[in-house]
Every structure is written in structure tokens, then in C-alpha cells.
């Protein structure tokens, strides 16, 4: 195969319809596809769009969207199985045939029934199937348009052959796979493309669009293509890094192409929403807006600016913590009108503000931008956050506990020292802002954990838990209170209800388990990884503490606020480490209130960066 065709196997690239014809591409529509379904409206729209195309106003080519194919080479012959793009490919084929470009046209065949060839037969019945009806209708519409515009037939032909391009995307496949496995890959790609799970990422199409025409001469074009391609690869690699991705996207799974996230931020900074009823909406919007090579270069510079600004936020420890917190939130049940958006919508909002795409007349300073981010943080905090409850809104509780960890790093620190490479003294306000490890935090699932377990309604269940605990600890010493409680339950095992009015029993139980409303309130909640939480289960405070110590010793990541809880850091004079008692709960609640209130003051203080 000629080198100029083989290059399309490497990466998506625009290809002229004229080249498909010149190289006599043998295109086949697989039998698993539903067939041709375009209506009169869609056929006429394509004809008019192509006919009215003007290189001076509309750019260097008219894009016919992606043409996704699988390439099969056998005995020197090449077949291109069409996975996506059937409708436009077939319509262009019908137009070329209608204007007399017959023998030179590319080859197109329907695998299950060569309908296109049968349409030429005299006894052809256009009503024989739904697919045949649509093809016949499309052919009739095309012929009628040409007959009404005979003087413009040559313009239509030229525009199709010279200026219409598909973005040719060849399915990547491993040659070591069997033919059956390759066929399955083809089916899977088709299903993904047609179920909304688009495997062909928009970044590949946008890259092809950018690289198509970036220089007047061949030498200049090749140099610019290499440079642009390398820059795009660097962007992708940077955005894929754990530290960067989980800062930008919270706990969202990392996609196959992270630069698509950057394209979304860039697009949303100019538009309110990404259209859901358009295939490849970002690519389509970009392709429509590029009407000249100079416009393409301008768009390219805009994209780079967006990338460099986002990486700048990442490198700034204060912005890293603040934006990372906002991205790490979960959706609460109730969101006030001014509640900050999430993920790419949030970053687009920040980028729009930072680049002056708003009501202000000048670009914001770093201090002003930080103030804007702080405002979003302030608006994310519920007015009565101390009243948050696990049983009412688990996500709201999660967000407050995440903020608690971030606020501990931000409060009373000096972000002005971030450019200073020298060591600080470590005293008070001279301490630099530490970076929260979002790349560690978001790679595991988190649970909101009850610090003190809930009292089981059935006393027999409590007795079972105590017996299991004794078996687990065996020769290890258990707290005296546990031994005493276990003895009381054992002694009354035949009449457990007798303990209902036993003041000593009630007092003892209340030390180990949380009663009533208190179990669901912030003062009895903290964050644990799903793994640690499942391992710990519904254990008593002292037992949870022992397990967490073991987990931490083995390298498990435990947030600072959770460590503070199980070390009773906030309690002035802790009464041992057996219970999470009322004094501990009140001290913890006051610490939460103090930390978040200080953070709110910091966010509202425009004089502090």
C-alpha cells in the first residue's frame, strides 16, 4: 500500500473524499449495522451545506465528521469495514453517482445485501424494506436537487471531491489476536459508539483538526505538526499524572484521554453547557468555528493558555488545596442557588474569571483570583453545618469532614512564602501551606464512620459482640469495663430485660455505644477508607483505635482529622482511650466549629491571600 494511505493507520487524519475515490477505497458496511436511515431533511441539509461551502469564509475544508473503520489486508487487497459514519458516507456516495462520478467513485458495499447495486435493476422495488425505502428516498431527493440546479452541478462535485474530508480513524488492533477476537473488538467498538460510550475520543478528532493545516509549505507544515503533536502529548501526560488528575477531577475515574477534560473546561468557559444531542459536540463546535488557518492558530493558543493556567493553579499550594477541596466534594441533597459547580464546570468558571471573560474590565490579580476561589469555598459551607447528620445527608457530612482536613492545612499558614525556596522556622504563621494528598485520597473509596458504634436494640446482639471480642483478643487484656459489661450480660442472659432499669448497666453501656440522636451527629463522625471501615466494622472505640494503629503502621492513609479523633487530640484531659465519651464529643465538635469558622474568616478576609 502507498505510504500516503498507510499513514492513516497510525493516527486519525483528515482524508479528502477525492482521495477515497482516487485510491479506490473498498468500503464495506457490516451486516450488524441497522442500515441507512437518513430522511429527506438530513440529505438536503448535507447537499446545501456542501454546495454553499466557501473556502475563504469556512476554512480550508468541510468536515464530514469521523469515519471509523477497521482495516483488513489480505493477499494485497485492502478492505475498510465501516464501524461509524455510514450515513454520511452513503449519502456522499449517492450524490457522486447522481452527478455522473460513477466509475471513479470509491467502492461501497452493504455486507448482508448489496442494495446499492440492486438499486440499478429495472425490477427494483423501493418498498421491499425500510432500509431500501430510505435509500430510494435519498436518491430521489438528490436527483431532484441536481435537476433543479444543473448549472451548479460542477460546483457541488468540486466541493465534494476537493474540500470535503472525513476524519479517518482506523481501529487499533493487536496482530497477535485471532480473527475472532478482532471481530469482537470491532463489534465492541461499534456498540460503544452507538450507546453513548464513545471509544473514539474527541481529543483524537480535535488533534487531527489542529494538525491538518498548520503551514503553507510542506516543510513548515511538517515542523509545526511535529511541534504541536509533541505539545499535545505533553499535555496528555501531565494531565494523566495522579497528582494532577485527582486535583482537577476529584474522584472521577481517569478516562482513556485526559486531555478531553481540558477541552471541556475550555468549551464551558465560553458556553453554558455541552450539547447532548450532537455527536462529538466539542469537535463539531471547534470545526465550525475554524474558518481560516489563522483562526485555528488562535484556538490553539487559547487551548495552551487554558492548560498553562490550570497547571499554574496546581503548582500553587494554596490554590491546589482550595480548588482540590471544591473538586473533591460530593453532591449534597440540597444545594443553595449560589452553591459552587463541580468538576469541569467549576474549572471553567475559574478560567473564565481568570481570563477576563466576565463583566470586569481588566484581568484579575493573583490576590483577586484567590479571593474569587475563596468565595466559592465559603459558599460551599452549609449555614448550619454543625447540624449536619449522617442519616439526613451522608454527602453533606462527607464534604464537611473533607473541608475539616483541608482547613487544618490552610488556617494560620502563609501562602506568601510559596516562592521562597529556603526553609521556614516552622513557627506558627511562618509555616508554609502543606499540600493535601488528593492523589492518595481519591484513589480509594471513603466511608463516613461512626466513632462510637450505635447501641443495638437487642441486648443479645450486644452480648454476641462482646463474646466475639473476647475470642478475638483471647489472652490479650481487655478494658475492665468490657469485662464488667460482659459479666453483667452473661449473668442476665436468661432475662436480659431485667437490665433495662439497672442504672450501672445503662451507665456502662452508654460509655461504649452512642445513644439516640448523638450517633448521627458530626461529633460522632469521621472519615475512613472503605477498606479500613469494613475491616473495623461496628467495633467499640478502643478496638477501632487499636485496628487503626495497626493499619497506619502498615502504611494505610488515614486523614489528619481522623488521627486527631482516635488520639483524642482535641480533648484537654482525656479520660483514657477506652470510650468516646461526652467530653471527647464536645471537644471534637468545638474543634470542628473553630476550624471551619476560622476557615470562613480566612475566605472572607480580602487582605489575606
Beta strand segments in 487-597, E: 525-529
Q: Is the pLDDT of residue 311 over 90?
A: yes
Mean pLDDT of 363-371: 91
Mean pLDDT of 123-151: 83
Give residue 417's pLDDT. 43
Between 152-166, 282-296, 461-475, the lowest mean confidence (pLDDT) is in 461-475
Give residue 217's pLDDT. 57
Q: Is the pLDDT of residue 425 over 80?
A: no
Give residue 385's pLDDT. 94
Mean pLDDT of 28-54: 88
What phi and psi values does residue 164 have, to the nearest 5 degrees?
-85, 130
Between 103-117, 198-212, 309-323, 566-580, the lowest mean confidence (pLDDT) is in 198-212
Between 198-212, 256-270, 304-318, 435-449, the lowest mean confidence (pLDDT) is in 198-212
Mean pLDDT of 559-565: 93
Between 68-72, 155-159, 215-219, the lowest mean confidence (pLDDT) is in 215-219
Mean pLDDT of 177-190: 86
Q: Is the pLDDT of residue 440 over 50?
A: yes
Mean pLDDT of 111-129: 65
| Per-residue pLDDT reduced to its tens digit, 236-276 | 999 999 999 999 999 999 887 899 999 999 999 998 899 88
Q: At what angle do helices 242-249 and 293-315 cross, to 10 degrees?
A: 100
* H, E, C per residue of 276-335: CCCCCHHHHHHHHHCCCHHHHHHHHHHHHHHHHHHHHHHHCHHHHHHHHHHHHCCCCCCC
* Backbone dihedral region for residue 496 (phi beyond 0: left; psi -120 to 50: alpha; all else: beta): alpha
For the entire predicted model, the pTM comes to: 0.74
**C-alpha span between 105 and 122 (Å, rounded):** 22
pLDDT band at 527 (very low <50, low <70, confident <90, very high): very high
Only one residue has cell 447528620, namely 389
Torsion on CA atoms 146, 147, 149, 154, rounded to nearest 10: 50
Q: Is the pLDDT of residue 505 over 80?
A: no
Between 47-51, 313-317, 465-469, the lowest mean confidence (pLDDT) is in 465-469
Which position has the higher pLDDT, 42 or 485?
42
| Per-residue pLDDT reduced to its tens digit, 184-213 | 888 888 877 776 555 566 787 888 777 765
Give residue 428's pLDDT. 47
The three grid cell numbers given for residue 109, joined into one nine-digit string: 458495499
What phi and psi values does residue 602 have, to the nearest 5 degrees?
-60, -40
DSSP label at residue 256: S
| Per-residue pLDDT reduced to its tens digit, 322-337 | 999 999 999 999 898 8
H/E stretch holding 449? strand 446-450
Q: Is the pLDDT of residue 346 over 80?
A: yes
Give residue 421's pLDDT. 46
Mean pLDDT of 337-364: 86
Q: Which of 550, 575, 548 is nearest to 564 (CA)?
A: 548
Question: CB-side exposure of 418: number of CA atoms within 13 Å?
Answer: 17
pLDDT band at 569 (very low <50, low <70, confident <90, very high): very high
The pLDDT mean for the chain works out to 83
Question: Which residues fall within 8 angstroms of residue 510, CB to CB, at 6 or more apart?
Answer: 455
Q: How many CB atoms lie within 10 A of CB 21?
A: 20
Mean pLDDT of 560-569: 92
Which position has the higher pLDDT, 533 or 388?
388
**C-alpha span between 325 and 380 (Å, rounded):** 10
Between 239-248, 416-425, 449-458, the lowest mean confidence (pLDDT) is in 416-425
**C-alpha span between 280 and 66 (Å, rounded):** 9
Mean pLDDT of 407-428: 60
Domain boundaries, the chain: 3-197
**C-alpha span between 502 and 511 (Å, rounded):** 15
pLDDT band at 341 (very low <50, low <70, confident <90, very high): very high
Amino acid at each position: 500500500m502507498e505510504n500516503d494511505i498507510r499513514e492513516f493507520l497510525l493516527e486519525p487524519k483528515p482524508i479528502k473524499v477525492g482521495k477515497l475515490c482516487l485510491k479506490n477505497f473498498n468500503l464495506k458496511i457490516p451486516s450488524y449495522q441497522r442500515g441507512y436511515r437518513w430522511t429527506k431533511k438530513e440529505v438536503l441539509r448535507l447537499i446545501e451545506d456542501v454546495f454553499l461551502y466557501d473556502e475563504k469564509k469556512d476554512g480550508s475544508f468541510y468536515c464530514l465528521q469521523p469515519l471509523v473503520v477497521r482495516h483488513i489486508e489480505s493477499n494485497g487487497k485492502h478492505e475498510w469495514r465501516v464501524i461509524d459514519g455510514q450515513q454520511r458516507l452513503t449519502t456522499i456516495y449517492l450524490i457522486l453517482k447522481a452527478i455522473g462520478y460513477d466509475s471513479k467513485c470509491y467502492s461501497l458495499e452493504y455486507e448482508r445485501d448489496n442494495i446499492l447495486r440492486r438499486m440499478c435493476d429495472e425490477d427494483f422495488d423501493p418498498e421491499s424494506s425500510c432500509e431500501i425505502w430510505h435509500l430510494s428516498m435519498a436518491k430521489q431527493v438528490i436527483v431532484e436537487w441536481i435537476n433543479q440546479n444543473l448549472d451548479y452541478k460542477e460546483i457541488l462535485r468540486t466541493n465534494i471531491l476537493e474540500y470535503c474530508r472525513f476524519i479517518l480513524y482506523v481501529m487499533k488492533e493487536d496482530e497477535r489476536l485471532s480473527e475472532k477476537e478482532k471481530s469482537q473488538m470491532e463489534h465492541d467498538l461499534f456498540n460503544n459508539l452507538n450507546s453513548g460510550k464513545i471509544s473514539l475520543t474527541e481529543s483524537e478528532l480535535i488533534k487531527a483538526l489542529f494538525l491538518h493545516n498548520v503551514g503553507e509549505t510542506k516543510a513548515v507544515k511538517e515542523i509545526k505538526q511535529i511541534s504541536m503533536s509533541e505539545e499535545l502529548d505533553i499535555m496528555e501526560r501531565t494531565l494523566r499524572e495522579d497528582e494532577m488528575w485527582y486535583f482537577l477531577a476529584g474522584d472521577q475515574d481517569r478516562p482513556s484521554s485526559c486531555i478531553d477534560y481540558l477541552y471541556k473546561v475550555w468549551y464551558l468557559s465560553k458556553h453554558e453547557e455541552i450539547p447532548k444531542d450532537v455527536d462529538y459536540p466539542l469537535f463539531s463546535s471547534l470545526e465550525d468555528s475554524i474558518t481560516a488557518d489563522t483562526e485555528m492558530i488562535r484556538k490553539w493558543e487559547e487551548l495552551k493558555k487554558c492548560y498553562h493556567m490550570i497547571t499554574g493553579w496546581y503548582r500553587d499550594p494554596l490554590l491546589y488545596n482550595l480548588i482540590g477541596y471544591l473538586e473533591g466534594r460530593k453532591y449534597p441533597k440540597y444545594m443553595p442557588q449560589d452553591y459552587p459547580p463541580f468538576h469541569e464546570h467549576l474549572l471553567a468558571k475559574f478560567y473564565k474569571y481568570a481570563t477576563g471573560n466576565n463583566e470586569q474590565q481588566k484581568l484579575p490579580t493573583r490576590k483577586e483570583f484567590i479571593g474569587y476561589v475563596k468565595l466559592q469555598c465559603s459558599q460551599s459551607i452549609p449555614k448550619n453545618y454543625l447540624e449536619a447528620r449522617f442519616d439526613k445527608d451522608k454527602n453533606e457530612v462527607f464534604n464537611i469532614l473533607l473541608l475539616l482536613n483541608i482547613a487544618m492545612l490552610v488556617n494560620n499558614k502563609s501562602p506568601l512564602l510559596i516562592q521562597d525556596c529556603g526553609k521556614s522556622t516552622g513557627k506558627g504563621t511562618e509555616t508554609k501551606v502543606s499540600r493535601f494528598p488528593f492523589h492518595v485520597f481519591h484513589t480509594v473509596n471513603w466511608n463516613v464512620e461512626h466513632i462510637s458504634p450505635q447501641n443495638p436494640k437487642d441486648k443479645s446482639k450486644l452480648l454476641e459482640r462482646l463474646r466475639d471480642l473476647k475470642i478475638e483478643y483471647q489472652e490479650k487484656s481487655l478494658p475492665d469495663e468490657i469485662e464488667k459489661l460482659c459479666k453483667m450480660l452473661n449473668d442476665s442472659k436468661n432475662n436480659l430485660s431485667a437490665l433495662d432499669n439497672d442504672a450501672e448497666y445503662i451507665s456502662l453501656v452508654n460509655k461504649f455505644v452512642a445513644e439516640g440522636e448523638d450517633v448521627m451527629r458530626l461529633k460522632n463522625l469521621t472519615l475512613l477508607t472503605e477498606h479500613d471501615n469494613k475491616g473495623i466494622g461496628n467495633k467499640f472505640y478502643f478496638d477501632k483505635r487499636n485496628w487503626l494503629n495497626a493499619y497506619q503502621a502498615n502504611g494505610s492513609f488515614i486523614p489528619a482529622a481522623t488521627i486527631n479523633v482516635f488520639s483524642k487530640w482535641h480533648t484537654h484531659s482525656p479520660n483514657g482511650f477506652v470510650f468516646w465519651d461526652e467530653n471527647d464529643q464536645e471537644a471534637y465538635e468545638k474543634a470542628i466549629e473553630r476550624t471551619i469558622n476560622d476557615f470562613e474568616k480566612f475566605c472572607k478576609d480580602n487582605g489575606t491571600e
